[in-house]
Structure 1
Amino acid sequence: MRFCIVLFLVVIQSNAQEVLDTLDNPRYFEDQFYVGLSYNFILNHPEGSNQRNLSYGLQGGIIKDIPLNKAGTRAIGIGAGLALNSYYSNLVADVLNDDISYSINDDITRSKLETHLLEFPLEFRWRNSTADEYKFWRIYGGIKAAYILGARSKYDLGDISEGFKNTDLTKFQYGLTLSFGYNTFNLHAYYALTELFNGNASVNGEVLQYRPLRIGLIFYIL
């Protein structure tokens, strides 16, 4: 969460940028910091598996705004950021001699898969803002690519607690994004087009085909 705190401190002191074109008409760039919080749904559960506890996601970064028209109501946004996502379920990952195995255990106290990602959002942006009005409606849709920097599986069963680095995940991931709302507060959704696991992981003979769906809030701050 440290990077989110740093972003909030920087954002407070940031202002919208305004430049003039050769015709002296005001043009502006909605370069923005973003911070988001989501609930992470797990789609495509194997038989007998279900989601538990609060699966959450945190994201933060900056987006460069490239206007497509003189009014600035349409633009492309290109950005970079970091994200942390946790998935809780009754799917238990264990490791023995570098071999990772999976089982379903309804008696488990807690089982978590946590990922740390470097993200690259690309958005087509529509808004009704002007160079002098920073409170406006927006609809941003696009695609987000991500690279998993690291992942960890952990489970708690009574007095037993085990955790290890999980390498069974798809390193490069991407999905569709949609954000809409007014001013700072916006609803945000991400639907993964790639599976979370790399195809080598299975449970009870069934290949794990987890696909994340994240729904939450995203805050755009100039």
Structure 2
Amino acid sequence: MRISLFIITFFTTLSIFAQENAIKNEVKDEINFDAVDSLYREDQFYLNITYNSLQKRIEGIQQNKLSPGIAFGFLRDMPINKNRTVSIAAGLGYSLAIYNQNLGISNANGVNTYEVLDSEITFSKNKQSFHYIDLPIEFRWRNSTPESHIFWRVYSGVKLSYLFYDEYKSVSSNGTVKLSNNKDLNQFQYGIYLAFGWNTWNFSAYYGLNPLFKSSAKIDNQSINMNTINFGLMFYIL
């Protein structure tokens, strides 16, 4: 009785496995993994390395050393034509902008004072760092195809940035100063940008449309209306 039960169970199990393998083989035959994806999307992730330049500077303010920046994030590609060469993209990202310059900031009783560090003051470090959450929206053109991800691209758009942390640090003959969360800074920044290139190598440019500082930030009763223009290399990843 036990032998008969074992034989029945064995052949039943074998039959089930055979049916499962047959179903799997049929599914594999139906799926063509080499088929062209006609609903492809492009350039979902980005990395941008920039050089940052201050514009509309008050007389005497100069940049020194390199003022670098980095940005990365995700963009949702949404093609709007049949060939998928034109699209709209919106996303979310993070950016860090550093400015090495001779704008001095001091704080007394919660009030910030601004000055131009003249030649009599020697300093080894005087920089501002800005950390942003970015919301880019862009219009895209590329000559991509479903078979190749190597193509020319021209992307242009607008970017809204929210300043969630900033820091000023100065090491000079006057001592060391470190300040953060400056209330005289515009918390929202917005500007236009352009990225273009071929395959891996893409160049980018961004122009800020509003000043970094509020009108309350002044040097000798003159508002600090500096804005920024950034140039860099942009890398896109699917």
For residue 227 of structure 2, the aligned residue among 196, 208, 211 is 211
CA contact (8 A) 2:215 2:223 kept: yes
Q: Distance in 2 between matches of 1:158 and 1:195?
A: 29
TM-score by length of 2: 0.81
Residue from 32, 52, 61 that aligns with 1:40: 52
Gaps of 5+ in 2: 1-35
Q: In the TM superposition, what are the counterparts of 1:9-48 in structure 2 within 5 Å?
A: 26-48=38-60
Would you tell me which structure has more helix in proportion to its own residues?
A: 2
Equivalent residues in 2 for 1:78-89, closer than 5 Å? 78-89=90-101
Asked whether 1:144 is paired with 2:163, we answer no
Q: Greater strand share, 1 or 2?
A: 1
**Within-5 A mapping of 1:107-126:** 107-109=121-123, 110-126=125-141
Please identify the structure whose Cα radius of gyration is greater. 2
Please, what TM-score do these two structures have when normalized by structure 1? 0.86
CA 1:159–1:105: 2 relative to 1, 3 Å: closer
**Deviates most, 158-167 or 147-156:** 158-167
Cα distance, 1:57 vs. partner?
A: 0.8
Q: How does 1:91-102 map to 2 (within 5 A)?
A: 91-102=103-114
Moved over 2 A (4+): none
Cα separation, 2, equivalents of 1:108 and 1:65: 49
Question: Hey, what's the Cα distance between the residues in 1 that align with 2:148 and 2:122?
Answer: 52
Letter in 1 for 2:108: L
Report the AA paired with residue 57 of structure 2.
Answer: H
Question: What corresponds to 2:193 in structure 1?
Answer: 177
Superposed CA RMSD in Å reads 1.4
Q: Percent identity?
A: 38
* C-alpha displacement of 1:25: 8.3
5+ residue gaps, structure 1: 1-23
Would the aligned equivalents of 1:151 and 1:167 in 2 still touch at CA under 8 Å? no
Change (3 A) 1:218 1:42: same
